[in-house]
């Protein structure tokens, strides 16, 4: 049963006789358009994630996902997270995950929120170098990511808190 929104949504049909290659590209474009429409309806954000494990005996699992944010009149931002990396040999699972991170510019202050479920608070390291914030954490899961801030920040003003798997970092602009 098609919804009213499905009938109004433009569909991309790319088929130039090269098998399913370009049809799949068209499907991808349609899926992204669907996700952007959902993001607008859901208050500007939508997330998808999953896990992969090629060996049931192994504790190493592939975690992947992305978050699409759409602000009013702004460009959509796609933020990937997880431990799957694209390499020349194909996708690989890393032991260290890349956390999902949000950066908010609050005028005089910058707020960074990082999702670090399973991290041990005593192992969380936060370093600030100009406009780059480096995060590392260990515990039942290991995380690492460098975040580009919208402006250089004052390392002496760095404040952090960690609750329920969420790391909150506040810094003042330099």
Mean pLDDT, residues 153-158: 96
- Pair 49, 37 in one domain: no
Instruction: Read off the tokens for 4.
Output: 């009213």
Domain boundary residue among 80, 95, 110? 95
How are strands ordered across the β-sheet holding 166-172? 101-106, 109-115, 166-172, 159-163
142-148 and 90-98 strand pairing: parallel
Q: What is the pTM of this model?
A: 0.60
Pair (142, 85) in one structural domain: no
Q: Let me know whether 110 and 173 are in one domain.
A: yes
* Residues 126, 153 within the same domain: yes
Are 114 and 166 in the same domain? Answer: yes
Residue-range definition of the domain harbouring residue 126: 99-174
pLDDT, average across residues 23-49:
59
Q: Are residues 16 and 67 in the same domain?
A: no
């Amino acid at each position: 049963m098609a919804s009213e929104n499905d009938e109004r949504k433009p569909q991309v049909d790319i088929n130039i006789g090269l098998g399913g290659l370009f049809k799949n590209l068209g499907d991808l474009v349609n899926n992204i358009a669907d996700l952007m429409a959902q993001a607008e309806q859901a208050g500007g954000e939508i997330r998808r994630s999953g896990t992969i494990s090629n060996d049931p005996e192994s504790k190493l699992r592939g975690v992947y996902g992305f978050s699409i944010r759409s602000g009013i009149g702004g460009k959509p931002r796609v933020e990937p997270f997880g431990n799957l990396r694209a390499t020349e040999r194909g996708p690989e699972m890393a032991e260290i995950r890349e956390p999902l991170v949000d950066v908010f510019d609050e005028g005089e202050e910058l707020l960074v929120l990082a999702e670090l479920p399973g991290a041990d608070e005593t192992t969380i390291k936060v370093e600030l170098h100009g406009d780059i914030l480096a995060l590392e954490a260990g515990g039942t899961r290991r995380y690492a990511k460098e975040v580009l801030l919208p402006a250089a920040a004052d390392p002496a003003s760095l404040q952090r808190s960690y609750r329920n798997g969420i790391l909150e970092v506040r810094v003042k602009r330099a």
